[in-house]
Structure 1
């Protein structure tokens, strides 16, 4: 099947390939009930995830830059091969800045990852420029799928095709849209140790029954449970973040002062976003030649009281 036949087949299956104003391909997934997700080949990044009522569940800044090689501020950037800023690599790695391709012949996944879902498979391989700053050959396959209920799943498979092992850190840096950050609480992180990036990565233990927000937060919760819940009291909605292969959870909100220092972020937009990431940061993933790692993120939502 050639690329045009592949695109036509995807469109019949509720998957539409379009282009943004810069000519970059995007893939729109639609569920039978009307939910949708929009994935850009710029970064393999989910930019929009809407309920069947058209409610946007992800935050994207009004000042976001949609032109490579700048990363898009919002949605779900994929941070690989590092999260953070160290060494010669750019902050949060290069995967979120690259143009991915539609993978027309991916290795098979479990049938449960296909049945009843509309999905797209994307592929990223390192460029010669990437290999200069991070000299490791890999294949990064990403499946983004939408269920009939409008739930979003992302499955990342990273294979070492090197002749030597390599290590990496990783995060689905998910920007959730919230009505008012002061009305939000996060549950599932109770009693966990976390590294606080506002205090030179000093280690603390979470004391509260739930995490609420009154100032800047930038933490990596270690060995977190597989499910975290985000309660938005004002709009009475709960979003569940379920993860596999990702031991850590990042929680970030820049608050007022840092918001004003970011050129691609509105001064007041911190009030309407919260990042809660499935991640592997403290203990890096190590792959031997031929080995493959899988990291899964499942996002769902329900009305709450």
Structure 2
């Protein structure tokens, strides 16, 4: 299916993906960032800040930004690394991935530049395939070491989900897991709750997470199913009211309608030898749900595959 490359008013190149049931996705060459995913009823599934800054070199708050080669301030680079602040290109040679001829898909690539090498002296190629299908959005990131020495990196797909009311949302699939609490000096704890619910600022990195996590939105009667491979950690974040007011690119009330649940490699960075490649995969799908608290079969969340 054809993709549509358009120039928007901000001068950013935007790729629009569509598929027969009527759903759509929009991807920017700036940051390789998915900034919209709408279902067949044209409902926006991803959150975008009401105060998002769309002018480079600032990061865009919302959608699915990419953190590479660093997460947060866990290193010497700028917050979350530089991939989300760079201009990517269309990738004309996405092999060895199979052709995406019959799907609505785009392949992007980011290569190290002279400027990047000054702050992170490692040669790399970062590729991303974004594929839209009925009820599902798939992202396949790949990192290739094109240097003559090994290097390590962190990687995160920051998924900003649009929710009706953060107080009515629960996350299942992370029960009993260890996590780093970023609001408590990154101390390590074990999750005690049956499911994660929200009544204040929340920022945790869950470790050795299952392949499948469910984000249940009671008010919208909708569940996001996040399936991931090659990214063992999961970041769960909501800034709540005080932090939202402190963030210049987030509206004061925006925290009420967003939740970040990220696919991540943080605790144990990936190490690549020369010419080795790492590949991850993330699929997000939505299912209509009338799940009440605790009615989602945890075995399906933890071990179920589609």
TM-score, with length taken from structure 2: 0.93
Partner of 2:171: 186
**SS of residue in 2 equivalent to 1:199:** coil
1:164 pairs with one of 128, 149, 153: 149
- Between the aligned partners of 1:72 and 1:87, the Cα distance in structure 2 is 21
1:263 pairs with one of 244, 248, 259: 248
- Between the aligned partners of 2:247 and 2:11, the Cα distance in structure 1 is 26
1:199 and 2:187 aligned:
no
**SS of residue in 1 equivalent to 2:118:** helix
- Between the aligned partners of 1:22 and 1:126, the Cα distance in structure 2 is 25
- Between the aligned partners of 1:212 and 1:87, the Cα distance in structure 2 is 30
Which segment drifts farther, 232-241 or 102-111?
A: 102-111
Structure 1 spans left out of the alignment, 5+ residues: 1-12
Are the counterparts in 2 of residues 14 and 31 from structure 1 also a CA contact under 8 Å?
A: no
2:129 pairs with one of 143, 150, 157: 143
1:214 and 2:202 aligned:
no
1:121 pairs with one of 65, 89, 107: 107
Partner of 1:9: none
Are the counterparts in 2 of residues 167 and 284 from structure 1 also a CA contact under 8 Å?
A: yes
1:234 and 2:219 aligned:
yes
- What are the Cα deviations for residues 126-175 of structure 1, in whole angstroms up to 9, with x where unaligned? 1111111100000111100011x131000011000000000000100110
Partner of 2:39: 51
RMSD: 1.0
- Between the aligned partners of 1:88 and 1:191, the Cα distance in structure 2 is 32
1:14: how far off? 3.4
- Between the aligned partners of 1:22 and 1:207, the Cα distance in structure 2 is 46
1:96 and 2:81 aligned:
no
Are the counterparts in 2 of residues 193 and 221 from structure 1 also a CA contact under 8 Å?
A: yes
- Between the aligned partners of 1:14 and 1:236, the Cα distance in structure 2 is 33
Structure 2 spans left out of the alignment, 5+ residues: 291-306
Aligned residues between the structures: 290
Are the counterparts in 2 of residues 226 and 244 from structure 1 also a CA contact under 8 Å?
A: yes
1:21: how far off? 1.3
Give the 5 Å matches for 1:10-159. Answer: 13-110=1-98, 114=100, 116-147=102-133, 149-159=134-144
**SS of residue in 1 equivalent to 2:43:** coil
Partner of 2:301: none
Partner of 2:304: none
Runs of 4 or more consecutive aligned structure 1 residues displaced over 3 Å after TM superposition: none
Change (3 A) 1:222 1:87: closer
1:295: how far off? 1.0
- What are the Cα deviations for residues 96-123 of structure 1, in whole angstroms up to 9, with x where unaligned? 0000011122213146xx3642100001
- Between the aligned partners of 1:107 and 1:230, the Cα distance in structure 2 is 33
